[in-house]
Structure 1
Amino acid sequence: MTTSMIPSPARWDTFVRAHPDGHLLQLSTWGQHKRAFGWTDALVGVANASGDLTGGALLLFRPLPLRLGTMAYLPMGPLLTDSAAEPALWDAIHVEARRHGAAFLKWEPGILDKPPPFASLGFRASAQTIQPPRTMLLDLVGDEEAILARMNQGTRRKIRQSLKGDVIYSEDQRADVARFNAIMQATGTRNAFGVHAPEYYALAYDLFIPQDGALILAEHESDILAGIMVFAVGKSAWYLYGASSDVKRNLMASYGVQWKAIQWARARGCKRYDMWGIPDAEPEELETEFERRSDGLWGVYGFKRGWGGEVLRSLGAWDRVYNPLVYRAYETAVKLRERRNHAD
């Protein structure tokens, strides 16, 4: 017998960290982080007759305009250890979504070996994704020389250059988040992409570091040259936030902090390193376009492509509609916004 329940954050996070598909975006602390920036979060779980947690999900909710309810969002889940519990888990997810006034549930299951039966579960494909659908995934199996050998020659050379001289790399403390924020703002301005408010990164540090992440900075003669926030759950690590300053770029510190983050992930036993977000284009287009484009994620693709990763696309976004009328209004609003953005 399977019953629905609400796991405590600590119990759920233990389950996520032990699950082979456990993901950062399923930790309760991710919900706590998003809660500070306009979202609502909820945990849903199912247990067997012995009371053992056999599955669950972190759900997020964001208000729709004009008080039309909410959008429910399920990122990189749900997680199950007993496939027989799946129907009960989906029932619990839909009950919780409706309880929060959701007009629809947006599901981004991520990268899976076997796609779920979306249609039989009542989901339809959606072009509106929340997370970048395409990424670069590095294989961390083998020693450091094997990992370096998978990179292109230019990246290997820049890594070695970054480790020479007087650049100091360190896992830094809470007081150093302000210095990371400073170069993050400079990076956003230089590369013409949006960055979060300083409070966003400060809270990420408070919630995830040191248990699930690290802040690594590169410093030279009191100048902060580059920084990275890297996260890990189970055998996977994610490079979510990175920045570099406008000074002493010849020291290649952005390559040094990335390499130090990879070493950090390997020391934790990670086998995969997700560089999190490249343009949503096929590999052939990525290679022919990256040198001439700098808009959006194209500006960082030139850096990420040299690390020897595999270009992978997630399963994208899928929507389960609860209120067809509101959902049609949502789709119309999204299309109008995309047309305005394209016109600009």
Structure 2
Amino acid sequence: MMNEGDVLLRHDEGRGVRAENGAFALQCDEARPDPAWDAFIGSTPGGDLTQTTAWATARQQIGVKAYCVQMRNAQGRLIGGCIIQARRLAPGMWVGIVPRGPVLATSEPGAAHALLQAIRREARQRGIGVLVVQPPEAAGLVEAKIVAEGYRPGCPSIAPEATLRLDLRRSDADLLEGMSAMRRRNIRKALRTGFAIAPEKDVDLFHRLHVATARRQEFRPVTLQDLHAQADALGPLGLCTALIARQGGEPIAGLWLTRFRGTVTFKLAGWDANAAARTNVNEALQWQAIQWARAQGADTYDFGGFDRRYAERILRQEPLGEKFTQTHSNFKLQFGGQLILLPRARFSATWPAVQPLLGPIGEHLLAGAWARRLAHRIRTASSTAVL
């Protein structure tokens, strides 16, 4: 006997999985370019680039499996779904991640339950044993239902848990006024230095700069293959670009930016600290990125992540401590803007019998250093490497 919101999954030859319960129809296929789906994500509150088939295409080029779950109501209108990215941990062991998803554009009774049930069942049928989801921004209904469905906290994030944003509808004078005195001074010095900053399509050049930063700061850089995949899949759609700063023709530093839903987001940075005339180039790049974003019609510039621990302290007006001055988040905070807390990741086993056993054991394992490294490897460019 089926309860409200339960779904009956059907396998259709050549069409993936369909599910229906009288109120909703669900379809799951391997992700392929789908402009209609991407337009739905772009028009739905909380929709994020990582939930588009364009992003899925970039992930597939580096060996990540990607599946698109879509849900329609009785009238056939697309009302929700998600992109599941899957990666093999070991033979027969797969983990699936849903950054900034699932997305739901309805409050119809049973819709969230039907969608989450279908996602878990479809993941299980695809051999995915553990699902990690990180809900969209301001998706209270979905987030609450994820908790009610038994998804547990304690796993590494697969998207930023906080961020800092600038409102680009403000004038340059207003933006500068909102910055720290040091940041304003450095930007004005940089403007007098004469850096030539412009979008460039040389992915290999940006990667060399990015690797230089990774070596200096001792983190794992995004691979060249990954950047080429993003450039190939997102670049022609105007969804990503690299800004390169040069002086006297010599490349000094660069930023990797994405654009979606009126927001330009800073994703990655690269900086050759050994290059000549490097003073204030980082500030110059960020200021030019802000100008470029506005020229593209964006109304928001997102710094691509902010340490949530410090974000919470700032919002509570608590002391930050001396260590904060040496952090990437402090570099960003000096530009002003608004701090935003975002939903955190939760995880669940896809097999009901395993879920009770996964609890404390899973939280312990997923809190380990290996799990954090794995999460970084899976999400790759969802992380931000700062100057």
Q: Considering the TM-score relative to the shorter chain, is it more than 0.5? A: yes
CA distance in 1, matches of 2:155, 2:81: 26
CA distance in 2, matches of 1:216, 1:63: 34
Select the residue among 22, 44, 65 that pairs with 2:90. 65
CA distance in 2, matches of 1:179, 1:330: 41
Partner of 2:132, secondary structure, is: strand
Give the alignment's TM-score, normalised by structure 2: 0.77
Q: Which residue of 1 aligns with 2:179?
A: 151
CA distance in 2, matches of 1:263, 1:191: 28
Give the alignment's TM-score, normalised by structure 1: 0.86
CA distance in 1, matches of 2:227, 2:61: 12
Aligned 1:189-204 pairs, distance under 5 A: 189-204=215-230
Q: CA deviation at 1:141?
A: 3.3
Q: CA deviation at 1:266?
A: 2.3
Q: Which residue of 1 aligns with 2:297?
A: 269
Partner of 2:334, secondary structure, is: helix
CA distance in 1, matches of 2:265, 2:301: 6
Aligned 1:207-286 pairs, distance under 5 A: 207-210=233-236, 211-246=238-273, 247-248=275-276, 250-282=278-310, 283=314, 284=318, 286=320
Q: CA deviation at 1:170?
A: 1.0
Q: Which residue of 2 aligns with 1:2?
A: 24
Q: Which residue of 1 aligns with 2:324?
A: 290
Q: Indicate yes or no: 2:40 matched with 1:18.
A: no
CA distance in 2, matches of 1:122, 1:277: 27
Q: CA deviation at 1:312?
A: 3.2
Conserved 8 A contact 1:279-1:286: no
Select the residue among 195, 205, 217 that pairs with 1:167. 195
Q: CA deviation at 1:227?
A: 0.8
Select the residue among 108, 112, 124 that pairs with 2:134. 108
CA distance in 2, matches of 1:106, 1:150: 37
| CA 252–215 in structure 1, closer or farther in 2 if over 3 Å, else same | same
CA distance in 2, matches of 1:141, 1:257: 20
* 1:179-225: CA deviation from partner (whole Å, max 9, x where unpaired): 11111111111122221122221221222125212211111112111
Conserved 8 A contact 1:141-1:147: no
Select the residue among 149, 161, 179 that pairs with 1:121. 149
Q: Which residue of 2 aligns with 1:141?
A: 169
Partner of 2:293, secondary structure, is: helix
Moved more, 110-119 or 158-167: 110-119
CA distance in 1, matches of 2:330, 2:131: 34
| CA 177–336 in structure 1, closer or farther in 2 if over 3 Å, else same | closer
CA distance in 2, matches of 1:199, 1:285: 42
Q: Which residue of 1 aligns with 2:12?
A: none
Task: Report the AA paired with residue 128 of structure 2.
Answer: A
CA distance in 2, matches of 1:182, 1:336: 31
Partner of 1:214, secondary structure, is: strand
CA distance in 1, matches of 2:244, 2:265: 16
Conserved 8 A contact 1:162-1:256: yes
Partner of 2:192, secondary structure, is: coil
Structure 1 residues not aligned, in runs of 5+: none
Task: Report the AA paired with residue 216 of structure 1.
Answer: L
CA distance in 2, matches of 1:36, 1:66: 21
Partner of 1:129, secondary structure, is: coil
Q: Percent identity?
A: 25
Task: Report the AA paired with residue 266 of structure 2.
Answer: Y
Task: Report the AA paired with residue 226 of structure 2.
Answer: Y
Conserved 8 A contact 1:228-1:243: yes
Moved more, 217-226 or 253-262: 253-262
Structure 2 residues not aligned, in runs of 5+: 1-22, 374-387
CA distance in 2, matches of 1:146, 1:287: 28
Select the residue among 66, 76, 90 that pairs with 2:100. 76
Q: CA deviation at 1:270?
A: 2.8
CA distance in 1, matches of 2:363, 2:90: 12
Partner of 2:193, secondary structure, is: coil
Q: CA deviation at 1:57?
A: 0.7
CA distance in 2, matches of 1:144, 1:42: 42
CA distance in 1, matches of 2:320, 2:259: 27
Conserved 8 A contact 1:70-1:103: yes
Aligned 1:45-56 pairs, distance under 5 A: 45-56=70-81
Conserved 8 A contact 1:3-1:88: no
Moved more, 181-190 or 125-134: 125-134
Q: Which residue of 1 aligns with 2:346?
A: 318
Select the residue among 4, 12, 32 that pairs with 2:57. 32
Q: Indicate yes or no: 2:206 matched with 1:180.
A: yes
| CA 47–34 in structure 1, closer or farther in 2 if over 3 Å, else same | same
| CA 126–55 in structure 1, closer or farther in 2 if over 3 Å, else same | same
CA distance in 1, matches of 2:370, 2:204: 34
Moved over 6 A (4+): none
| CA 123–37 in structure 1, closer or farther in 2 if over 3 Å, else same | same
